[in-house]
Amino acid sequence: MRVSCPHCKQLGTIRSTERLSPTVSQHYVICSNRECGHTWRATTVADMTLSISSTPDPTVALPLSTHVRRAVIAQLIRCAAEADYTPCLTPPTTLDLFPPSGPDGPS
Ligand SMILES: [Zn+2]
């Protein structure tokens, strides 16, 4: 991600990031314009879901954009066939948003 320098409007490069929460991060940025040389801190906030994650973190609750066709997605999830796949880059924190009910989980 690149951001514009507030002074000279050239692109800056994020040198380091501190994650404050799952949705808020602070970035330390340096301007690419050597004649400017400004460094600053910027904060980013994830504030809306535009496309649903395939490995959602159940602790993150972002509003879903109104452009998402919820009923169509729900129907696709109900009716789609399954295909075997094991995630290797972003293993889910759980296999489902809700623990199983029964003797091994809450009812
Ligand atoms: Zn600058």
Q: What is the pLDDT of residues 32-65, one digit of tens each?
A: 999 999 999 999 999 999 999 888 888 899 999 9
Mean pLDDT of 72-79: 92
Identify which of 53, 39, 44 has the alpha carbon closest to the alpha carbon of residue 23: 44
Domain boundary assignment for the chain: 2-45
pTM score above 0.75: no
Q: How far is CA 107 from CA 18, 34, 59, 101, 103, in A?
A: 39, 62, 20, 4, 8
Distance 10 CA to ligand 1 centre (A): 6
C-alpha of residue 35 to centroid of ligand 1, in Å: 8
**Per-residue pLDDT at 107 exceeds 60:** no
